Chains A and B, each alone.
Chain A
Amino acid sequence: MTRLVPFFGFALLAVLLGFGIWWNSAHDPTAVPSPLINKPAPAYVLPKLDDPARMVSKESMLGKPYLVNVFASWCFACGEEHPVLMAESKSFGIPVIGYDYKDDPNDAKTWLTQHGNPYDTVIADQSGHTAIDFGVYGAPETFLIDGKGVIRYKRIGPLTPDVIEQQLKPAIEALQKEAP
């Protein structure tokens, strides 16, 4: 029996190593879990990209669920995400707000003209100050906010068809079911 102890020790280490490899490939180790899920979205007042005199705020969006998609013309991964949004954003059944993050307004407008505009409204956060309250640390990021202004889901990184089918759409459906 004692002869087998080293073998068990080795097997235990091998299992531990295997678990570590599996765990690191099963999730994105650089993704930072948002502590804001199921918490009220931060108060924000941001100008529209195409009409900076008009403001969009948390209060003005209350009442119906909506998506906030953080993007920027300088963001490479946003370019990968963009065609997916172009194809899918109308099928979500809720408004999709583009959140232009730390971007030159002219660059953003050019970008949207060139690649198409999948958003119902685009708001601009040129300084990135409001984004800190949202816990944004890069782009793209996507928030699902319910009618009461509570963040219900967050995606860090591009939305892909798989993520949309498996995570985003079920989350939206769940929201619509609980709404009266």
Chain B
Amino acid sequence: MTGRFVRIAALVALIALGSAAFAQAIDPLPFRDHAEELRFQHLTSQLRCLVCQDEDLADSNADFARDIRHKVFELMQQGKSDAQIKQYLVDRYSDFVLYDPPVNGRTWLLWFGPLLILIAGGVVVVNTIRKRGRAGTPTAPTDNGDDW
């Protein structure tokens, strides 16, 4: 029983070690401190890898994503702000690199469409309730089967 436990524990430790080593090996960059590394991770997780479009830059193994990560790192070393780095990439790859689409003329429907639908639904509900209120009893026998 203990032998089995030891084996399982060893396996778990091995997997944990392996994935930690992998996380390091994907892209070892010479960060000055942990805060800079966190900022880098945060920034690259908001950016899309254009080759593998359902992955963010932070997690992607694609060669292209590595190049862009290095570029982001380089711009960080130059003292650029997060906004400046994002703008640098947007200038070259359009808003598509951002996972969070900016509010502008082309995206207003995306941002406010759900609100419009909610309002439209609210209007329908209010109207229906008012109509039923005026009709008196809600389950009026005058209902001709039109109770969808």
Interface residues of A (CB under 8 A from B): 2-3, 6, 30, 32-36, 102, 128-129, 132-135, 137-138
Contact A102 B63 (CB under 8 A): yes
Q: Which B21-80 residues have C-beta < 8 A from chain A?
A: 50-51, 53, 63-64, 67-68, 71
| Residues of chain A lying within 8 A (CB to CB) of residue B148 | 6
Interface residues of B (CB under 8 A from A): 50-51, 53, 63-64, 67-68, 71, 90-94, 96, 146, 148
| Residue contacts A-B, CB under 8 angstroms, 25 given | A2-B146, A3-B146, A6-B148, A32-B50, A32-B93, A32-B94, A33-B96, A34-B94, A35-B91, A35-B93, A102-B63, A102-B67, A128-B64, A129-B71, A132-B67, A132-B68, A132-B92, A133-B92, A135-B92, A135-B94, A137-B51, A137-B64, A138-B50, A138-B51, A138-B64
- Nearest Cβ on chain A to B95's Cβ, whole angstroms: 8
Tell me the bound Cα distance from A118 to B76 in angstroms: 40
Q: Which of B53, B67, B93 contacts A135 (CB 8 A)?
A: B93
Tell me the bound Cα distance from A129 to B66 in angstroms: 11
Tell me the bound Cα distance from A36 to B92 in angstroms: 7
Contact A35 B50 (CB under 8 A): no
* Secondary structure class of chain A's binding surface, majority of residues: loop
Contact B94 A33 (CB under 8 A): yes
Contact B63 A35 (CB under 8 A): no
| Residues of chain A lying within 8 A (CB to CB) of residue B96 | 32-33
Contact A137-B50, Cβ < 8 Å, known A35-B91, A35-B92, A102-B63: yes
| Residues of chain A lying within 8 A (CB to CB) of residue B50 | 32, 137-138
Name the CB-closest residue of A to B64: A137
Contact B146 A35 (CB under 8 A): no
Tell me the bound Cα distance from A129 to B93 in angstroms: 14
Contact A132 B51 (CB under 8 A): no
| Residues of chain B lying within 8 A (CB to CB) of residue A134 | 92
| Residues of chain A lying within 8 A (CB to CB) of residue B71 | 129, 132
| Residues of chain A lying within 8 A (CB to CB) of residue B51 | 137-138
Q: Which of B90, B91, B93, B146 contacts A137 (CB 8 A)?
A: B93
| Residues of chain A lying within 8 A (CB to CB) of residue B90 | 35
Tell me the bound Cα distance from A32 to B98 in angstroms: 12
| Residues of chain B lying within 8 A (CB to CB) of residue A2 | 146
| Residue of B90, B92, B94, B148 with most partner-chain A CB within 10 A | B92
- 4 extra A-B contacts, CB within 8 A, seeds A2-B146, A137-B50: A35-B90, A102-B67, A129-B71, A137-B51
Tell me the bound Cα distance from A132 to B92 in angstroms: 7
